[in-house]
Amino acid sequence: MYDTGKILIGVAIFLIIAIFPFLLGVGDSSQAPHPVVLKAAGEQCIESAAYMRANHMQMLDQWRDDVVRNNDRTYTNTSGKTFTKSLSNTCMDCHSNKKEFCDSCHDYSSVRPYCWECHVEPKETN
Amino acid sequence: MEESRRDFLKKAGMGSLIGLGVFKTLDKIGVEDAFASSTKEGTSGTRLGLVVDARKCKAGCTECINACHAIHNVPKFEDPKDEVKWIWKDGYHNVFPSKSGQFIDDETKEKPFMALCNHCEDPPCVRVCPTKATFKREDGIVLMDFHRCIGCRFCMAACPYGSRSFNWNNPRQKDGNKLVGGKDIDPSFPTRERGVVEKCNLCAERLAKNLIPACVEACPEGALVFGDLNNPNSKIRQILKSNHSIQRKPELGTGPSVFYIV
């Protein structure tokens, strides 16, 4: 076999580069970063926070079909209260900071919803 | 009695002919009945429409356009090729190209005619849309679901009235806070994005709040009247009853719901 030494050196360099990030983190037991979600202005969301966290995408998807295609613009929540089905005009009334409410989580989970290409985000007040 | 094969076939043939004839007739009666007793679209029996009284429309006035374009975030592009419009002004020749234009009187020639989506009874744009982004509501409004529009522009080719505009560019300015043309964005209504077709929605979002369309409300002359064309007691029908009205290109069979009093 030719050039065994050179090959071994090359492999060693490759391995060092490959495991470099892990070597850097040895002994560092800090938590994985978590997105910070801003608390909303209102007292109570239309459904429980856990439900909204898990299902807001399906809900918004359902809402847009209901509103645009079926002209059904009122949402009745589990406790019987009614709301207008609108992202810009209902959700964003309380969750008025898109950057710290929507984006922080969406960036973290690497999802890119295109709501805001058309819908207008509220002007930042704080 | 002995029957020849030939006679048997003759009788059988006659019998089946009579049978077919009866069914055909029944069929026809049934179909005609269905047409007579129901309206063409939907079950609600409503057909929303507009009357444009061009006699009252003033030449320099753009109130209806301003109101509509402001609440619907319609941008204003410099290049006419990029133009986006929901309601606009045009001359008699352009709005009614199939009417005779020979020796036309000066008043008609110079009068502005408001053009907008006709919310047709049989809309060709709906027929051609491959994603069903354009659809006809039960109350007669031809509506667009911008979420579903893929920008193929079949509807623009199909619409004989030029009522549809394509967003060749982003309707928002680069910093995102204003519309192209400098107007502020109304946050209660979405803008569109590049690559989407748009048109008049007969203010579906206002009708949901029991408001009349913005153009009708804004007109200082009362030249626009909104109402249910299927209700013989509605104001719009009363006006149509007592005035001669025309539609745009009725010969195409689209059944426009916008009527003009010239």
Residue B23 has pLDDT above 70, yes or no: no
For B114-145, what is each residue's pLDDT tens digit? 999 999 999 999 999 999 999 999 999 999 99
Identity of the amino acid at B64 = C
Size of interface A-B (CB pairs under 8 A): 32
Name every chain A residue with its beta carbon within 8 A of the beta carbon of B145. 68-69
Q: Which of A89, A117, A122 sits opposite B193 (nearest CB)?
A: A117
What integer pLDDT is reported at residue A7 of this predicted model? 94
Nearest CA in chain B to A89: B188
**Cα-based angle A24, A25, A30 (whole degrees, multiple of 5):** 150
Name every chain B residue with its beta carbon within 8 A of the beta carbon of A89. 188
Q: Decide if A122 and B187 are in contact by the 8 Å CB cutoff.
A: yes
Residues sharing a CB contact under 8 Å with residue B235, sequence separation 6 or more, in sequence order: B225, B227
Residue A125 has pLDDT above 80, yes or no: no
For B219-248, what is each residue's pLDDT tens digit? 999 999 999 999 999 999 999 999 999 999
Q: Which of B187, B204, B208 sits opposite A88 (nearest CB)?
A: B187
B258-261 and B87-90 beta bridge pairing: unpaired
Q: pLDDT band for position A80 (50/70/90)?
A: very high
Q: Which of A64, A71, A122 sits opposite B147 (nearest CB)?
A: A64
Percent with pLDDT over 70 in chain B = 91
Q: Decide if A118 and B193 are in contact by the 8 Å CB cutoff.
A: yes
Residues in a beta bridge with B56: none
For B173-198, what is each residue's pLDDT tens digit? 988 789 999 999 999 999 999 999 99
Distance between CA atoms of residues B226 and B214, nearest Å = 10
- DSSP 3-state of B120: coil
Tokens 């295609």 label which residue? A69
- DSSP 3-state of B155: helix
CB B215, CB B56: distance < 8 Å: no
Q: Which of A68, A69, A120 sits opposite B191 (nearest CB)?
A: A120
Residue B253 has pLDDT above 50, yes or no: yes
Residues sharing a CB contact under 8 Å with residue B70, sequence separation 6 or more, in sequence order: B183, B186
Which residues in A have their CB inside 8 Å of a CB on B? 64, 68-69, 71, 73, 88-89, 114, 117-120, 122-123
Identity of the amino acid at A96 = S
Name every chain B residue with its beta carbon within 8 A of the beta carbon of A122. 187
| Distance (Å) from the alpha carbon of A9 to chain B's nearest alpha carbon | 52
What's the predicted TM-score (pTM) here? 0.79
- DSSP 3-state of A112: coil
Q: CA end-to-end span of chain B, whole Å?
A: 79
Distance between CA atoms of residues B50 and B48, nearest Å = 7
Q: Which of A73, A117, A122 sits opposite B208 (nearest CB)?
A: A73
CB B171, CB B192: distance < 8 Å: yes
User: Token digits for B217?
Assistant: 């409300």
Q: Which of B8-12, B148-152, B197-201, B251-255 has the lowest mean pLDDT?
A: B8-12
What integer pLDDT is reported at residue B42 of this predicted model? 44
Tokens 């006679």 label which residue? B7
Distance between CA atoms of residues B151 and B167, nearest Å = 9
- Nearest CA among A5, A64, A54, A84 for reference residue B147: A64
Distance between CA atoms of residues B254 and B197, nearest Å = 20
ipTM of the complex: 0.75
Mutate to test the interface with B, among A118, A121, A124 (most CBs of B within 10 A): A118
Q: What is the mean pLDDT of residues B9-37?
A: 70
Cα Rg, chain B, nearest whole Å: 24
Q: Decide if B190 and A122 are in contact by the 8 Å CB cutoff.
A: no
Distance between CA atoms of residues B101 and B262, nearest Å = 14
User: Token digits for B139?
Assistant: 């109350």
Q: What is the dihedral of CA B53, B55, B57, B58, to 10 degrees?
A: 180
Average pLDDT score, chain B: 90
Provide the b/e sequence for B28-38 (b: ≥16 CB within 10 Å).
Answer: eeeeeeeeeee
What integer pLDDT is reported at residue B71 of this predicted model? 96
Q: pLDDT band for position A38 (50/70/90)?
A: confident
Mutate to test the interface with A, among B43, B137, B144, B147 (most CBs of A within 10 A): B147
Mutate to test the interface with B, among A88, A115, A117 (most CBs of B within 10 A): A117
Tell the burial category of A93 from Cβ atoms under 10 Å away from its Cβ (0-12, 13-18, 19+).
middle
Tokens 């299927």 label which residue? B230
| Distance (Å) from the alpha carbon of A120 to chain B's nearest alpha carbon | 5
Q: pLDDT band for position B29 (50/70/90)?
A: low
Distance between CA atoms of residues B224 and B216, nearest Å = 5
Q: Which of A69, A114, A118 sits opposite B191 (nearest CB)?
A: A118
For A85-103, what is each residue's pLDDT tens digit? 999 989 998 898 888 889 9
Residue B43 has pLDDT above 60, yes or no: no
| Residue B165, H or E segment | strand B165-166
Distance between CA atoms of residues B93 and B100, nearest Å = 9
Domain assignments of chain A as residue spans, ordered by start:
59-118
Name every chain A residue with its beta carbon within 8 A of the beta carbon of B186. 120
What integer pLDDT is reported at residue A124 of this predicted model? 63
Distance between CA atoms of residues B91 and B110, nearest Å = 7
What integer pLDDT is reported at residue B191 of this predicted model? 95
What integer pLDDT is reported at residue B28 of this predicted model? 61
Residue B31 has pLDDT above 60, yes or no: no
Nearest CA in chain A to B147: A64
Q: Decide if A68 and B208 are in contact by the 8 Å CB cutoff.
A: no
What integer pLDDT is reported at residue B27 of this predicted model? 64
For B69-94, what is each residue's pLDDT tens digit? 999 999 999 999 999 999 999 999 99
Distance between CA atoms of residues A68 and B38, nearest Å = 26
For A20-36, what is each residue's pLDDT tens digit? 988 887 777 777 778 88
- Nearest CA among B207, B184, B57 for reference residue B138: B207
